[in-house]
Chains A and B, each alone.
Chain A
Amino acid sequence: MSKDHIETILAQLGNRTENVTGTVSAPIYLSTAYRHSGIGESTGFDYTRTGNPTRKVVEEAIAKLEGGDRGFAFSSGMAAIQTILALFKQGDEIIVSADLYGGTYRLFEDFRKYGLSFLYDDFQDLKKTEDLINDHTRAIFLETPTNPLMQETSISAVSELAKKHNLLFIVDNTFYTPVLQRPIAEGANIVVHSATKYLGGHNDVLAGLVVAKGEELCEKLFTYQNAIGGVLSPFDSWLLLRGMKTLSLRMNKHQENARELAKFLEQLPEVTDVLYPGKGGMLSFRILKEEWVDPFLRNLTLICFAESLGGVESFITYPATQTHADIPEEVRIQNGVCNRLLRFSVGIENVEDLKRDIQEALKAASKEAVGQHD
């Protein structure tokens, strides 16, 4: 880890990576192949799937930010997780967060056909978690805070458990980013990101990142990244890098707005619960009546009703039909993702504007819903 503060590392990403022209913004290398002067004289780049100079800048950046040994960039967060799954073999068991992103859930369920097993756990009582561990258990995959219920889990406590049983410990750090949480410092072996979210931050690039600690693990991940080939394109690597330069600023603003909105939502009569861990830019809330959900979303004029999160623009998501649609309703509701729950990715707009939009939309929704019943 460099001695500089994270804001400084972020602002300077990509600068001084090229010495020929002195360019401040890292160049976009679209070349798929790299010329060798002679036999055995590679520049370090041969074929762009294996290694690309623009992708390398973003990979080194995330490794430095997360405090790992090596970073890997993928064409989406799901491509990143799929590549991590290549580390396992038939018969292996993995303990995963119960309140999991729907896409990850779908992928895990699908991988059962390759003989992998996934055991869901809420990590609220680590004794119960330990009871799930057996001879086949190979890893723990943790999301913290969880999505959409925003429950935090102690990374260091889970890490101790993982070490005790010699398990690989993987943490999805999408919601907090290295600005707020560095899982490797707390004992994780692998950190994974949907970089589409806060790291990219502008709702305009799809990307996944993985960082690992340990020579051997990194070497394996590199082998699978290259073999499977779900790599991030040079242009998208560059866009991601561009987004990361303002990560710290954005995250501070997201968090400042989210804290303020959590307080605001709590005192609204139309809102029954607010789920906010006190950190980051994500919160969830339940409104009083399920039939208000649709008119509420329709009456928002500022906040977008859209899937995804972590962008500069505020988004509200309805997990029941969007992110968590692939989880059976019964399981979903049992986990707390009920039909009154909305997830709010708080943007960097002026917070008073956001409050006004929510208040007006809720008012209109409760009126419309009453109208329907009359």
Chain B
Amino acid sequence: MTNSWTLQTKLLHNKHKYDKTTGGVSVPIQHASTFHQENFDGSPKYDYSRSGNPTREALEEAIAELEGGVRGFAFASGMAAISTAFLLLSKGDHVLVSEDVYGGTFRIVTEVLTRFGIDHTFVDMTNLHEVASSIRPNTKVIYIETPSNPLMKVTDIQGITKLAKANNCLTFVDNTFMTPALQRPLELGADIVLHSATKFLAGHSDVVAGLAVVKGEELGKKLYQLQNAFGAVLGPQDCWLVLRGLKTLHVRLKQSQESAEALARCLRNHPAVQAVYYPGLEDHPGASTQRYQADGAGAVFSFELKDEIAVKTFVSNVTIPVFAVSLGAVESILSYPAKMSHAAMPKEERYKRGITDGLLRLSVGLENIDDLKKDFLQALSHIEASRVLER
């Protein structure tokens, strides 16, 4: 019965909508680390909180249902989820990774997996021929992020999963930017969906969490063994906070996306803005693929100013957004990839990927759109003013 409700309704009504013992409509926070075992010989459902916790289970079942998978897993951070998933691989295996993958994932792949004898190739996932020709006999996983960070390049998920299946590979998709409210990769053939739930899923800049959802039972068992073995599980209190955030996911994302599009359109007409990267704009190269595989373009976009000086002027004059790393919150967050997420990358490599010194990434929050426009336009006007002074 509940399966026939829309996703918007499912966010609020799932099997954990009320507690069976008391009728409480908010999932109880079960802090117990261990559980009394009634039967001497029985195998209890819960024995130790790392292996299974009722609050975590509620979150894991919720995300599994939302992503359309068979099993969900909650981890202490997005990186804990991603690294646990990568450890499904063994020595001698090879993985294909989006060339503009998130910096934290880049670090795991290049600095940790290599030590375990797991090799990698970075490819431009928007180019399916390049992906196909990079597949080796020992390639076991194709790992994608779409839209990518920070340039919002769109990868054809179904194209990748078909290639992967034909070559006996698994497809992992980081769905952090879209969430299941906009994009459900498992329905498009992916095997594992990964999330930094710190972002849109929780949505309030107040909890660090990671989630994974798998499509197949067999893969689910394997990932469960790893989750339990490594033990980077999410604490009950944090599970509850993510569950609480999920309840407003639909309304938050809808509002933020609407504002993101309006602000992107406003900025791209400004003389101080050289480019706006948002797959919701018609002239974005990934716009049609995005329309086909997702229900919207999300709430994050990047835009380019002339240079570092222009960025500095803009950042010191803009007042509403928080100038910080992270994204997907109720507050708008402005990031400077050159000095934040991609600081570790050599300048040459960074420029090759289009991440210039003038690039800013914006995650649009829930502020009033007129306030945001006003704030951005006044901050941009200072760039103009300083140019005039230079002359």
Contacts and interface: CB of A to CB of B under 8 A. Distances in A.
Q: Do A and B interact?
A: yes
Contact of B12 (A10, A24, A242, A347): A347
Given A11-B330, A15-B322, A25 B205 contact: yes
A313 B18 CA distance: 11
A302 interface: yes
B17 interface: yes
A350 B254 CA distance: 13
A99 to B, nearest CB: 26
A250 interface: yes
Contact of B17 (A242, A248, A304, A350): A304
B366 A11 contact: yes
Given A4-B371, A8-B368, 15 more contacts: A4-B368, A8-B367, A8-B372, A11-B332, A11-B366, A24-B322, A245-B366, A246-B330, A304-B25, A306-B25, A312-B247, A313-B13, A313-B25, A350-B5, A353-B9
A349 B12 CA distance: 7
Contacts of A347: 12
Given A245-B204, A313-B17, A11 B244 contact: no
Contacts of B8: 348-350, 353
Given A202-B26, A313-B17, A249 B371 contact: no
B370 A353 contact: no
Across the A-B interface, the 5 shortest Cβ-Cβ residue pairs: A5-B368, A25-B206, A204-B26, A8-B367, A349-B9
Contacts of A22: 324
B255 interface: yes
B329 interface: yes
B320 interface: yes
B331 interface: yes
Interface string B321-344: 010100001111000000000000
Interface string A1-26: 00011111011100100000010110
A301 B12 CA distance: 13
Contacts of B329: 24
Contacts of A8: 320, 367-368, 371-372
Given A202-B244, A203-B25, A302-B5, A7 B367 contact: yes
A238 B322 CA distance: 19
Interface in A64-89: none
- Chain A at the B interface: SS class: loop
Contacts of A249: 248, 251-252, 255, 366
A25 B204 contact: yes
B13 A11 contact: no
Contacts of A313: 12-13, 17, 25, 247
A303 to B, nearest CB: 9
Given A11-B330, A245-B204, A250 B5 contact: no
A7 B259 CA distance: 12
A5 B320 CA distance: 12
Contacts of B251: 246, 249-250, 253, 348
Nearest to B25: A203
Interface in B252-305: 252, 255
A205 to B, nearest CB: 9
Nearest to B251: A249
A131 to B, nearest CB: 44
A215 interface: no
Contact of A203 (B1, B13, B26, B372): B26
- Chain B at the A interface: SS class: loop
B105 to A, nearest CB: 23
Most interface-central of B1, B13, B365 (chain A CB within 10 A): B13
A105 to B, nearest CB: 25
A196 to B, nearest CB: 12
Interface in B186-210: 204-206
Contacts of A319: none
28 contacts: A4-B371, A5-B367, A7-B368, A8-B367, A11-B330, A11-B331, A12-B367, A25-B205, A203-B25, A204-B26, A242-B204, A245-B330, A246-B252, A249-B251, A253-B251, A302-B5, A302-B13, A304-B17, A306-B25, A312-B12, A313-B247, A348-B251, A350-B6, A350-B8, A350-B9, A353-B5, A353-B6, A353-B8
B23 interface: yes
A11 to B, nearest CB: 4
B348 to A, nearest CB: 31
B318 to A, nearest CB: 13
Interface string A309-349: 00111000000000000000000000000000000000111
A24 B320 CA distance: 12
Interface in A342-372: 347-350, 352-354
Nearest to A242: B204
B17 A24 contact: no
Interface in A181-208: 202-204
Nearest to B7: A350
A203 B26 CA distance: 7
A306 B206 CA distance: 29
A80 B2 CA distance: 39
Contacts of A312: 12, 247-248
A224 B52 CA distance: 46
Contact of A24 (B6, B205, B244, B371): B205
Nearest to A5: B368
A349 B249 CA distance: 11
Contacts of B365: 11
